[in-house]
Structure 1
Amino acid sequence: MKSIQAATYPVHFEEKAYNELASIIKNRAYSSIFILVDENTFEHCYPRFMQLLQTDKPIEIIQIDAGEIYKNMETCIGVWNAMTELGADRRSLLITLGGGVITDLGGFVASTFKRGIEFINIPTTLLSMVDASVGGKTGVDLGVLKNQIGVFANPEMIVIDPEYLHTVTPREIRSGTAEIIKYGMTHDIRLFNEIKDNPNLNIVDLIHRSIEIKNEVVLEDPKEKSIRKVLNWGHTIGHGVESYFLDSETKENLTHGEAIAIGMVCEAYLSSKVLNFPEEYIHEIKSAIITIYGKTTIEESDVDDIIGLMKHDKKNVGGEINFVLLENYENFKIDCKVPNDLIKESLQFYNS
């Protein structure tokens, strides 16, 4: 796969990526290398990575607990303390080896440690390959509120090695697929069509195009002042649902992609009501999403709390919830206002 050039860093693929990684480590003369992992990536991904890492620099491993519930400031403090105790300095390099939690949190840790050290992202899940590791967003959650604390900071490079996808569950692959579906609906409908029409599709074939789309958007609007908001299609309601289920003592946590998939169904409904998005497409989206992800029950008593959590979405201004909505596939509008009654209707539509 051909390398992709982002604003200040390249995205390299497969064998070439490891050659470029060795080159950058040699040429930058880092004082030490820290690798951030969780218990899963330490067991399943770290052995492959160390076989392919070409360096004689001193290496330290920092391991954190796996899961979204550990994507918080407490974990960051633990990593900062570990780096300090292990002698990290401004010439140290942090390599993140893991999924979205690792790349988001690791990038934030690196960009704030001693006012910023260099980091390299090596995503190991589909979600982190096509979304979380690309685009310069770093951060952690504040309680159950997603990504409330963070900074824009670019890695030095990104290594995309699809072999790591053999270490994750089918559920995690489906979670990442939601982000590819998002790119399909907003930018290249072929992606969505291939996913919904080919149950045995090799999803690796869609990774490069997905990163290409995200990179094009980020190059145009790196700080999410305007057009980059389109990357939040499905995320306004989706994040509300994800946070609510994360905080609930009676509901099973959803993966990020499962929640975003629900969000896309709901926001397709909103699109039909606000922008006349074709009704046939709403039902097409709902059918495809439920086929891929199954059905999650959202009780009527859940809805007000979900909407309450949506009010903390980072796109909001002056307390008003802002949506990305579709006029048609590949034709979107940002900063759309939607009344609460219609949001409730959209969640009922998903549930019906």
Structure 2
Amino acid sequence: MKTIKAVSYPVHFQEESYQELSQLIQEKDYSTLFVLVDENTMEHCYPKFIPNLKTDKTIEVIEIESGEINKNLETCVGVWNAITELGGDRKSLVITLGGGVITDMGGFVASCFKRGVDFVNIPTTLLSMVDASVGGKTGVDLGVLKNQIGLFANPQMVIVDNQYLTTVTEREIKSGIAEIIKYGVTYDVSLFENIKKNKENNISDLIFRSVEIKNEVVLKDPKEKDLRKILNFGHTLGHAIESFYLESEDKENLTHGEAIAIGMVCESYISNKELQFPIDKVHALKEVVCAIYDKIQLLEKDFTAILNLLKHDKKNVNGQVNFVLLNDFEDFKLDCKVPEVLIKESLQFYNS
């Protein structure tokens, strides 16, 4: 599988990627390699990774607790302290080995330590392979508010190796499929059709095309001024729903993909009401989502709390919530203002 060239770094695929990593380490002559993992990737992924790394450099492993709840500045301080105590300097390399939490936070940690050290992303979940590890976004949550603290910073390279998908649950695989659906309905409908026809078993092709799409979009709009906003379809409401479940003591947390899937259904309904997005395609998207994900009943008494969380969305300007909506598949409109009553109506539509 060929390498994808991003703005300033390559995305390598499968086993031959590690030769490129070893060569990078040799050429850059890093002082110490810090591998950031959580307890799951330490147990299941690190043993697959380390035999592929050919280097005589010192390797230090820093383990954090898994989960979105730990994607915060407090965890970052712990990692910065660990790197400092282990002798990290400006010639250190941080290797992130994990899902979206690890790649988002690890890139942020590296970019801030001593005003920036190099990092390499090795995503181990489908979600991080097709989305989180590519595109230069790093960051952490502020309380339950998603990705409020962060910066744009590019890795030295990204390694996408499907062998790590054998280490994750079916639920995590489904979480990543939501992002592939997003690429399908906004940019390349063939991806959506493949998921609709249960062709996600050809996962290598789906991953490659998803990375290719994200890279095409980011190359045209690296700082999300215009086109890159399409990658937020489903995320405006989806992030609010994800945050609501994260802060609710009496509800089980949703995965990122589960929340985004709900967001896409709701925002497709809003698209129909605001832009005449065809109703048959609204139902087609809802059918695919409901076939893949367990149905969540959104309680009407929670709607106001979910809408209040929308006020903190990163795309907001002057207090106005901005949605990405669809005129049709592969045809979108950016920065759409939506009445509250219609947002609540969309949540009811998902429930129906």
**TM-score interval, smaller chain:** over 0.9
Residues 153-173 of structure 1 deviation map (CA, whole Å, 9 limit, x = unaligned): 000000010000000000000
- SS of 1:41's partner is helix
- SS of 2:119's partner is strand
Whole-Å Cα distance in 2 between the matches of residues 137 and 199 of structure 1? Answer: 29
* Contact in 2 for aligned 1:127/1:176 (Cα 8 Å): yes
Q: 1:199 Cα deviation (Å)?
A: 6.1
* TM-score of the pair, normalised by structure 2: 0.99
Deviates further, 9-18 or 139-148: 9-18
Whole-Å Cα distance in 2 between the matches of residues 199 and 217 of structure 1? Answer: 24
Whole-Å Cα distance in 1 between the matches of residues 198 and 15 of structure 2? Answer: 28
Letter in 2 for 1:95: I
Tell me the number of residue pairs that the alignment of Structure 1 and Structure 2 aligns. Answer: 352
Whole-Å Cα distance in 1 between the matches of residues 8 and 207 of structure 2? Answer: 21
Deviates further, 190-199 or 316-325: 190-199
Q: Aligned residue for 2:64?
A: 64
The question of 1:350 aligning with 2:343 is answered no
Whole-Å Cα distance in 2 between the matches of residues 52 and 203 of structure 1? Answer: 23
Q: Aligned residue for 1:51?
A: 51
Q: Aligned residue for 2:255?
A: 255
Q: Aligned residue for 2:23?
A: 23
Q: 1:200 Cα deviation (Å)?
A: 6.3
Letter in 1 for 2:12: H
Residues 250-277 of structure 1 deviation map (CA, whole Å, 9 limit, x = unaligned): 1110000000000000000000011100
Whole-Å Cα distance in 2 between the matches of residues 2 and 325 of structure 1? Answer: 33
Q: Aligned residue for 2:210?
A: 210
Q: Aligned residue for 1:329?
A: 329
- SS of 2:284's partner is helix
Q: Aligned residue for 1:144?
A: 144
Letter in 2 for 1:32: T
- SS of 1:138's partner is strand
Q: Aligned residue for 1:298?
A: 298
Q: Aligned residue for 2:36?
A: 36
Letter in 2 for 1:271: S
Residues 40-88 of structure 1 deviation map (CA, whole Å, 9 limit, x = unaligned): 0000000110010110100100000000000000000000000000000
Whole-Å Cα distance in 2 between the matches of residues 323 and 73 of structure 1? Answer: 28
* Contact in 2 for aligned 1:35/1:60 (Cα 8 Å): yes
Q: Aligned residue for 1:124?
A: 124
**What's the RMSD between the two structures over aligned residues?**
0.7
Residues 174-204 of structure 1 deviation map (CA, whole Å, 9 limit, x = unaligned): 0000000000000111111111112663323
Q: 1:16 Cα deviation (Å)?
A: 2.1
Q: 1:321 Cα deviation (Å)?
A: 0.4
Q: Aligned residue for 1:339?
A: 339
- SS of 1:63's partner is strand
Q: 1:315 Cα deviation (Å)?
A: 0.4
* Contact in 2 for aligned 1:9/1:155 (Cα 8 Å): yes
Deviates further, 195-204 or 147-156: 195-204
Instruction: List alignment gaps of at least 5 residues for structure 2.
Output: none
* Contact in 2 for aligned 1:194/1:201 (Cα 8 Å): no
Residues 126-170 of structure 1 deviation map (CA, whole Å, 9 limit, x = unaligned): 000000000000000000000000000000000010000000000
Residues 276-329 of structure 1 deviation map (CA, whole Å, 9 limit, x = unaligned): 000001111111101100210100011010010011000000011000000000
Deviates further, 93-102 or 286-295: 286-295
Whole-Å Cα distance in 1 between the matches of residues 155 and 322 of structure 2? Answer: 29
CA 1:92–1:200: 2 relative to 1, 3 Å: closer
Q: Aligned residue for 2:196?
A: 196
* Contact in 1 for aligned 2:25/2:55 (Cα 8 Å): yes
- SS of 1:237's partner is helix
Q: Aligned residue for 1:319?
A: 319
Q: Percent identity?
A: 67
Q: Aligned residue for 2:185?
A: 185
Residues 194-235 of structure 1 deviation map (CA, whole Å, 9 limit, x = unaligned): 111126633232000000000000001101111111000000
Whole-Å Cα distance in 2 between the matches of residues 153 and 330 of structure 1? Answer: 28
Q: 1:15 Cα deviation (Å)?
A: 2.0
- SS of 2:346's partner is helix
* Contact in 1 for aligned 2:140/2:147 (Cα 8 Å): yes
Instruction: List alignment gaps of at least 5 residues for structure 1.
Output: none
Whole-Å Cα distance in 2 between the matches of residues 283 and 43 of structure 1? Answer: 41
Whole-Å Cα distance in 2 between the matches of residues 201 and 192 of structure 1? Answer: 14
* Contact in 2 for aligned 1:119/1:155 (Cα 8 Å): yes
Q: Aligned residue for 2:174?
A: 174
Q: Aligned residue for 1:112?
A: 112
* TM-score of the pair, normalised by structure 1: 0.99
